[in-house]
């Protein structure tokens, strides 16, 4: 199936309908997700929360096209993920979804610039355009003066900013962040969440998977999972005041 831009009459990027995910472990079956339906629209800022075993990591993997549901339907920009080939899914992950991980996942021997260029190399971009786009992404996250530094020459917060720049460099439809402040102290974590806020205000769609209430409160929508089901899906009315307080 050809991967192409789909112009919707509305603004829905992701439409998940009654998905389930079942793993077989020996003679037993584990229902990681039992029945979840949700829509994610362009410029949503969504936090997914839940205790261990709630299904949040499985849901994140399905949204990120790292895994597929056992049952139900997942439409990404009107494209049915179940009909995609492995190459289609790889293209979606590379071009449409920018991943930010708790452990940064940077190449230790490569410079900041080379780390950010990596998705563009996989995407087949030429060297000159890779350099231009990676430089812009680093400037956008406040690291224009750190392009030749290697990860061990950067603070934890700077390394996470490099990871965010790498996620942004392909201009993806969605930024998907897994516990993005998990390895950071509270002050640095706050800086990263303020960065996500700036990216959201610039028009990006952001999904944060977290177990931390303080992180989730930056999102405009909070989904809480329990036992593979959505326990609560609500608008976060505290978002604006929390952001203003953190930036004052």
pLDDT tens for each residue of 29-82 = 999 999 999 999 999 999 999 998 899 999 999 999 999 999 999 999 999 999
The residues pairing with 45 across neighbouring beta strands, listed in sequence order, are: 206
Percentage of the chain beyond pLDDT 70 is: 92
Q: What is the mean pLDDT of the chain?
A: 90
> Where are the extended beta strands (E) located within the chain?
12-25, 28-41, 45-49, 71-76, 79-80, 97-100, 174-178, 205-209, 221-226, 229-235
Q: Report pLDDT for 17.
A: 97
Q: Report pLDDT for 119.
A: 93
Q: Quick one: tokens of 202?
A: 């610039």
Q: Report pLDDT for 210.
A: 93
DSSP label of 55: S
Rounded CA Rg of the chain: 18
Classify burial at 98, counting beta carbons within 10 Å of its beta carbon; exposed 0-12, middle 13-18, buried 19 or more.
buried
Q: Quick one: tokens of 235?
A: 């608008």
pLDDT digits (tens, 9 = 90+) for 168-225: 999 999 999 999 999 899 999 999 999 999 999 999 999 999 999 999 999 999 999 9
- For the chain, the residue count is 248
> Band of the pLDDT at 2, cuts 50, 70, 90?
very low
**What is the average pLDDT across 221-232?**
96
What torsion, rounded to 10 degrees, do the Cα atoms 76, 79, 85, 90 define?
-40
243 pLDDT above the threshold of 90: no
- Read off the pTM: 0.88
- Domain 42-68+86-247 is in which class? alpha beta
Please report, in angstroms and rounded to a whole number, the separation of the first and last CA atoms in the chain. Answer: 49
Q: Quick one: tokens of 101?
A: 């991980």
Q: Return contacts of 149-153, CB within 8 angstroms, 24+ apart.
A: 149/111, 149/112, 150/108, 150/109, 150/110, 150/111, 150/112, 151/104, 151/106, 151/107, 151/108, 151/112, 151/115, 152/108
9 pLDDT above the threshold of 70: no
Percentage of the chain beyond pLDDT 90 is: 83
Residue-range domain boundaries for the chain: 42-68+86-247
Query: Which residue from 96, 101, 64 is spatially nearest to 178, judged by alpha carbons?
Result: 101
Q: Report pLDDT for 122.
A: 87
Q: Report pLDDT for 244.
A: 56
Q: Report pLDDT for 237.
A: 87
């Amino acid at each position: 199936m050809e991967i192409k831009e789909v112009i919707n009459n509305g603004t829905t990027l992701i439409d998940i309908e009654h998905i389930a995910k079942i793993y077989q472990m020996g003679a037993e079956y584990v229902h990681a997700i039992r029945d979840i339906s949700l829509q994610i629209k362009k410029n949503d800022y969504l936090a997914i929360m839940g205790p261990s075993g709630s299904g949040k990591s499985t849901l994140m993997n399905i949204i990120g096209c790292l895994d597929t549901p056992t049952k139900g339907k997942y439409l990404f920009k009107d494209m049915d993920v179940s009909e995609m080939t492995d190459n289609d899914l790889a293209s979606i992950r590379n071009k449409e979804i920018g991943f930010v991980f708790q452990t940064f996942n940077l190449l230790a021997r490569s410079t900041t610039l080379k780390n950010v260029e990596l998705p563009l190399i996989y995407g087949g971009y030429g060297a000159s355009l890779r350099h231009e786009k990676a430089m812009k992404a680093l400037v956008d996250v406040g690291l224009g003066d750190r392009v030749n530094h290697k990860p061990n020459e950067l603070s934890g917060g700077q390394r996470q900013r490099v990871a965010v720049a790498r996620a942004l460099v392909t201009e993806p439809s969605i930024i998907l962040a897994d516990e993005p402040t998990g390895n950071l102290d509270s002050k640095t974590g706050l800086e990263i969440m303020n960065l996500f806020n700036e990216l959201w205000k610039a028009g990006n769609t952001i999904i944060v998977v977290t177990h931390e209430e303080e992180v989730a409160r930056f999102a405009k929508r909070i989904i809480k999972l329990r036992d593979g089901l959505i326990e609560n899906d609500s608008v976060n009315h505290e978002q604006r005041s929390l952001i203003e307080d953190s930036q004052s």
